[in-house]
């Protein structure tokens, strides 16, 4: 079946612009996660959704970052007034209820110039 | 802060050799997972070991867990060039996964 999809796959933006990243989880997966991965580093947890509520936003690095989820489907991660340090790969993952394994999308590579 | 730390950071071996990667973590866990990442994009789940398990096998993969030492190891036997990737351990408490910085494995043909 279809896996987690993310769009765009690559995004180049100018410093100060807003960007919106999209994640389509696997159908039936109630949990959805956003991570950030800087070059050569591990994954930083950003936010977790259970359904359309976000019980844990603790990883969002600043108030320029926000995320929404519609029901148990699409999620968007918005970064306002982008900075160069926002350049990274943004990965989305989903998982079914009561399953620990996470299924990852291919990521969006964001470059802020 | 990162929970898991992998060791070594990078590993280069010849095809056919075994590759061993280690992971240490700081707090108690429910389970530990290993993931693989090709070319800096999406991660693929490899194996999960629960806190009450000591060893688990999946194909050419063998994972051990020592909760007293807060450490785990991933062994890939009879490595292939296609195993070249970055490998991450991830620990969880409840829903959140916390990833280490990864081991970059290069398998030379």
Summarize pLDDT for A16-70 with one digit per residue, the tens: 999 999 999 999 899 999 999 998 888 999 999 988 888 788 889 999 999 999 8
pLDDT above 90 covers what percent of chain A?
A: 72
Measured distance CA(A108)–CA(A54) in Å, rounded: 21
Q: Mutate which of A25, A30, A35, A42 to disrupt the B interface (most B C-beta within 10 Å)?
A: A42
Q: What is the pLDDT of residue B2?
A: 43
Measured distance CA(B44)–CA(B28) in Å, rounded: 24
Residues whose CB falls within 8 Å of the CB of residue A63, separated by 6 or more in sequence, listed in order: none
User: Nearest-CA residue of chain A relative to B100?
Assistant: A42
* Tens of pLDDT, residues B76-99: 999 999 999 999 999 986 677 888
Measured distance CA(A32)–CA(B60) in Å, rounded: 30
CB pairs under 8 A between A and B: 53
Give the C-alpha distances (Å, rounded to integers) separating A55 from A59, B18, B101: 11, 42, 25
Measured distance CA(B90)–CA(B32) in Å, rounded: 6
Q: What is the pLDDT of residue B3?
A: 57
User: Nearest-CA residue of chain A relative to B38?
Assistant: A106
The residue whose two tokens read 């916390």 is B98
* B31 DSSP β-pair partners: B50, B92
**Is A46 part of the contact surface with chain B (CB cutoff 8 Å)?**
no
Q: What is the pLDDT of residue B39?
A: 80
**Hey, CA dihedral for A40, A47, A51, A67, is it positive or negative?**
negative
Residue among B31, B97, B100 whose CB faces A102 most closely: B97
In this prediction, residue A4 has a pLDDT band, given cuts at 50, 70 and 90, of: very high
In this prediction, residue A1 has a pLDDT band, given cuts at 50, 70 and 90, of: low
Here the tokens at position A31 are 């949990």
Q: Do A101 and B43 touch (CB under 8 A)?
A: no
Q: Mutate which of A91, A101, A105, A110 to disrupt the B interface (most B C-beta within 10 Å)?
A: A101
Q: Are A5 and A107 in contact (CB under 8 A)?
A: no
Q: What is the pLDDT of residue B40?
A: 65
Phi, then psi, of A85 in degrees rounded to 5 = -70, -5
Q: How far is A95 from chain B (nearest CA, A)?
A: 10
């Amino acid at each position: 079946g279809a896996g987690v999809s993310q769009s765009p796959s690559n995004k180049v933006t100018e410093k100060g612009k807003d960007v919106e990243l999209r994640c389509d989880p696997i159908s039936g997966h109630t949990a959805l996660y956003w991570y950030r991965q800087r070059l050569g580093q591990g994954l930083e947890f950003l936010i977790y959704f259970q359904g359309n509520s976000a019980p844990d936003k603790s990883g969002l690095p600043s108030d320029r970052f926000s995320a929404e989820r519609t029901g148990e489907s699409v999620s968007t991660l918005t970064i306002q007034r982008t900075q160069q340090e926002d350049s990274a790969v943004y990965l989305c993952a989903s998982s079914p209820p009561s399953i620990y394994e996470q299924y990852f999308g291919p990521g969006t590579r964001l470059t802020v110039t | 802060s990162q929970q898991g730390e992998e060791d070594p950071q990078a590993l280069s071996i010849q095809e056919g050799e075994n590759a061993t990667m280690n992971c240490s973590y700081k707090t108690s866990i429910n389970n530990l997972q290993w993931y693989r990442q090709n070319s800096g994009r999406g991660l693929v789940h490899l194996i999960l070991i629960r806190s009450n398990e000591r060893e688990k096998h999946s194909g050419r993969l063998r994972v051990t867990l020592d909760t007293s030492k807060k450490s785990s190891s991933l062994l890939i036997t009879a490595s292939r060039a296609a195993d070249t990737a970055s490998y991450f351990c991830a620990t969880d408490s409840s829903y959140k996964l916390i990833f280490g910085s990864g081991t970059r494995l290069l398998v030379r043909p």
